[in-house]
Amino acid sequence: MAGEPVRNGRLSLSDLYGSMPISPCWTTVVFDFVFFLNYLLAWIVTLATQPAFVYDNNVVRVFKSFNLCIGVDSWPGRLVAVVIWALGSPLLFLASSLHVYKAKNDSGGYKALRCFLLIAGAVIVNCFALTYAVPPDDWLKTMVHTGAFASGLFGYGVYKLALALEFFVEYKDLLRLDLKAKIYAGTVLFHTCVLFGASAFLVYLLLLKDYRPIIANIRADVIPAVVSGGLKVVGSWRGSFPFMWPEAYVVELDGSHSPVGGDPCGVFLVVVTFLAPIVEALTAPRELVSHGAVVIYTDLELEPDAVETKVLASVELSPCGPGLSCDSESEGECWPRDQMPIC
């Protein structure tokens, strides 16, 4: 009966009060939704409070485009970004930890390398937090801000590289894989290449020339932002709400005008980064998408001491390797607690 004490340390699945499965793949999807919600809400706040900042900022001066990160660079949009990032970052660490647990318990090789890449990737991804903490208000801050964004992309690429390695060490016969598994592998590899490529391209642009003469000093912590020095940016909003768009041009040092355009590379990066984790979670082989851990709630009575111990929560790692599964046929069986096949 569910809810009754379990004796002699033997645990049946039917004895559980309840369980909470945690899948690393779907945890990554939730992180991505929170991450993009961060930018969406920050953009809404920026458009409502600092519309001119969208076209008159140092990112526009450097890249001559309406970059998608502008919405989190001004006050008070940065406040929204910082708070939501604090909510989303632990989700990526949780997903990374679950993948580490799986790496240590599955039958695949390169365990130390996979664990290192997972942990290092999750840590480096948190460089995104520096983009909210260091706004591009002058030359040094602009370099730190953009470099931190490139580092965050690189860290996410490292994390994805670990997932690709996890797949290929467990599934060596690639030609015999089904279509869904091939889609999963291709998506992970493609997303990894996009992240590394975007990071390298940003670093290349930062090293391309000296941006000191063109970058302005901006007080973005006031409304409206106060701009002094650097290249002059002339712009305005066209259309009427809700169908509005910015138009602007940059007056170069020689007096010529450089129009500010869209950001197709940034849009491509956002679309791929948003969709890739969803495709991966929907197409991943069962051994990869299954739960990395299950939090369970039950009572234990340990004999012969007859001392009742209250177990509030325990985490059972799945020992199921590739090709194995834990299905409903296991219901009702008693397993040693360290071998209970919860997936």
The partner residues of 12 in beta bridges, in order of sequence, read: 334
Taking alpha carbons only, the member of 215, 33, 251 closest to residue 135 is 215
Contacts of 339 (CB under 8 A, 6+ apart): 319
> Which tokens in the block code for residue 33?
């939704």
Tell me whether residue 267 is exposed, middle or buried, using C-beta atoms within 10 angstroms of its C-beta: 0 to 12, 13 to 18, 19 or more: exposed
Does residue 248 contact residue 232 with C-beta atoms inside 8 Å?
no
> Which tokens in the block code for residue 141?
């801050």
The partner residues of 234 in beta bridges, in order of sequence, read: 249
Domain ranges of the chain: 6-20+290-336, 26-213+262-288
DSSP 337: T
How far apart (Å, rounded) are the C-alpha atoms in residues 226 and 220?
Answer: 7
- Distances 253 to 57, 235, 240, 250 between C-alpha atoms, Å: 17, 17, 33, 10
> Which tokens in the block code for residue 321?
């390797």
- The residue length of the chain stands at 343
- Which helix (DSSP H) or strand (DSSP E) does residue 177 occupy? none
Question: pLDDT in tens for each of the 343 residues of the chain?
Answer: 444 444 444 444 444 445 556 778 888 889 999 999 999 999 999 999 999 999 999 999 999 999 888 989 988 999 999 999 999 999 999 999 988 888 887 777 889 999 999 999 999 999 999 999 999 999 999 999 999 999 999 999 999 999 999 888 888 777 778 899 999 999 999 999 999 999 999 999 999 999 999 999 999 888 888 999 999 999 999 988 778 999 999 999 999 999 999 999 999 999 999 999 999 988 988 777 655 555 555 555 544 444 444 444 444 444 444 444 444 444 444 444 444 444 3
